[in-house]
Amino acid sequence: MKALREKPVPPSSENTIDFLRRGTSVRPASTIPQQGKSRTRLPEGTRIEQKERFFLFRFGKRLLFLIGLVLSVVFLQACSGSAGNTAKVKLTMSAWGNPAELKVYQKAIDAYMKENPEVDIELIPIASDGYEQKLMTQLTGNSGADLFYVGAEYMSRVVEGDAAEPLTSFLNSEESDTSPDAYAEGLWGAAKKDGEIYGVPVDCNPLVMYYNKDLFKELGIKTPQQYYDEGKWNWDAFKEVTTELKKGGKKGYIQENTLQQVESWIWSNGGSVYDDNGQLVLDKNKEAQEAIAFMNSLVQEGNAVYAGTLPEGQGLDAMFLSKQVGMISAGRWLTPMFHEAGVHFDYIPWPTNTGKKTEPVAIPTAYLSVNAHSEHKEEAMKFLSFYVSEAGQTARLSGIGNAIPSVTGIDDIVTDEPPHTDYMNEARETGYAHGTPQSKSALTPGLVNELQDLYEVMLLGKASPEETVEKVVKTIQSMSK
């Protein structure tokens, strides 16, 4: 008789689960071939054919691989997004300044970074001597800091060379912390051309004269303030004071060849290099020519010393600190240094020769610009707008700052130290910045430096005032065409 076939035995659920976990077939121990025994063939429906097992095995591995790949991509994207949110934008800003001034700049930088922790700003100090040359070299080579200070006397070179990013659109947007109408029109100078803004006045520094109160007291000399209170602070009084200082073994005054000082002497006599419309009048203006001759006589007669002849390392600030000179002229930028050194000094307006107590003076102004080649222009413009805004200037200039505000309405932040800080505020209202019609030379790239070289030759005693005026007029005419 034929052997009866056993009834099919379905695989248990436990074996099935085990199969899925291990990716192998489920086979009862009784069906495993053993040596010397015939193989038992499972009934149909009780086994998974080899091809099916292979398919399921490959499919399972691929499925697990795909799931792992997707999870890895999601994880990396999440990490990338997180890193992007915390990565800092790094900006650099170059500026000149003495150690005390650099501390002032840093105040505004720190204030901005505190409110914007995603931004890191590095201040890069560059020596005042040679700053213009180094800056222009960097900008010409499409390098340099993201933001940079620019002197008013060479702002036109920066604009002409397309080195500064246009700012008008941003300053008029909601993203900006300030707006163009917050600044006096007379402060823009060469930073504004054809209605476009390329730099914003960081603050301003109307020229005044400094005098060492202790030195005047020690020598028993009548102070400039006493002359001023009597309504007699004029050229004659200035010459008397510097003569007395010289008798006391000191330098009376240090005269520089900067166009700002030269123009201040010219205006103190009611003279003009340019009229209110920007037309050259120096060749016909006797008051201007007389002022240039007076300035030169101070040096040639020993009442003043030309700064260009001072020993190496002996600038006018060092001379003032060491009581070697009684009077110098500058903006507020020297005030923090003198205050930290404990010098007792005060301001006095520029002496006049018109019968008036004051006349216009030059207003040295620096601008902050954004590098046209910066990789972070948007963030740089945001910081610029804060740095020059009311908030930024308050952070920098409150108390013993290095300038007075270029925006209106916050004059009260400037501490009355020295006592007559108000002289500087008053000078801001009547003075002229480089690039205004009355100080038009700064609008022509390179002209300011050429004129200063001519005045240096005169102050060194190598040219007469008359020869100097003639050369100045010809230089202006030839370079302004």
Q: Is residue 33 part of a domain?
A: no
Q: Is residue 348 part of a domain?
A: yes
The confidence score (pLDDT) of residue 184 equals 82
**What is the separation of C-alpha 112 from the centre of its chain, rounded to a whole number of angstroms?**
13
The confidence score (pLDDT) of residue 54 equals 47
**Contact, 347 vs 421, CB < 8 A?**
yes
322 and 403 assigned to the same domain: no
239 and 332 assigned to the same domain: yes
Structural domain boundaries enclosing 119: 85-204+365-414
For residue 366, which amino acid is it?
A
The confidence score (pLDDT) of residue 20 equals 38
Query: Closest Cα partner for 243 from 176, 314, 320, 326?
Result: 326
| Tens digit of each residue's pLDDT (9 = 90 or more) over 275-284 | 999 999 999 9
370 and 354 assigned to the same domain: no
Q: What is the DSSP string of 410-425?
A: -GGGB---STTTHHHH
Q: Which tokens sit at 480? A: 């302004």
Q: Is residue 43 part of a domain?
A: no
142 and 250 assigned to the same domain: no
CA distance 35 to 23: 26
Query: Closest Cα partner for 105 from 89, 125, 135?
Result: 125
The confidence score (pLDDT) of residue 63 equals 53
Q: Is residue 461 part of a domain?
A: yes
CA distance 222 to 79: 73
CA distance 299 to 305: 5
CA atoms within 13 A on the CB side of 133: 5
166 and 305 assigned to the same domain: no
Residues of the chain falling short of pLDDT 50: 1-49, 51, 54-57, 70, 73-74, 76, 78, 80-84
CA distance 456 to 463: 9
**Contact, 93 vs 121, CB < 8 A?**
yes
The confidence score (pLDDT) of residue 64 equals 55
Beta bridge pairs of residue 149: 368
| Tens digit of each residue's pLDDT (9 = 90 or more) over 187-235 | 999 999 999 999 999 999 999 999 999 999 999 999 999 999 999 999 9
224 and 338 assigned to the same domain: yes
263 and 394 assigned to the same domain: no
323 and 406 assigned to the same domain: no
Q: Is residue 428 part of a domain?
A: no
Q: Is residue 331 part of a domain?
A: yes
For residue 258, which amino acid is it?
T
The confidence score (pLDDT) of residue 415 equals 81
Rounded to the nearest 5°, which phi and psi values hold at 54?
-60, -45
With b meaning 16 or more CB within 10 Å and e meaning fewer, what string describes 273-299?
A: bbeeeeebebeebeebbbbbbbbbebb
The confidence score (pLDDT) of residue 313 equals 80
Q: Is residue 5 part of a domain?
A: no
221 and 318 assigned to the same domain: yes
The confidence score (pLDDT) of residue 22 equals 42
The CATH number covering residue 242 comes to: 3.40.190.10
Rounded to the nearest 5°, which phi and psi values hold at 164?
-110, 140
Q: Where are the alpha helices (DSSP H) in 302-409?
A: 316-321, 335-340, 377-387, 390-397
Beta bridge pairs of residue 93: 123, 147
Element (H, E) at 275: none
CA atoms within 13 A on the CB side of 93: 25
Number of domains composing the chain: 2
Q: Is residue 236 part of a domain?
A: yes
190 and 336 assigned to the same domain: no
103 and 193 assigned to the same domain: yes
The confidence score (pLDDT) of residue 58 equals 54
Query: Closest Cα partner for 271 from 254, 246, 289?
Result: 289
154 and 120 assigned to the same domain: yes
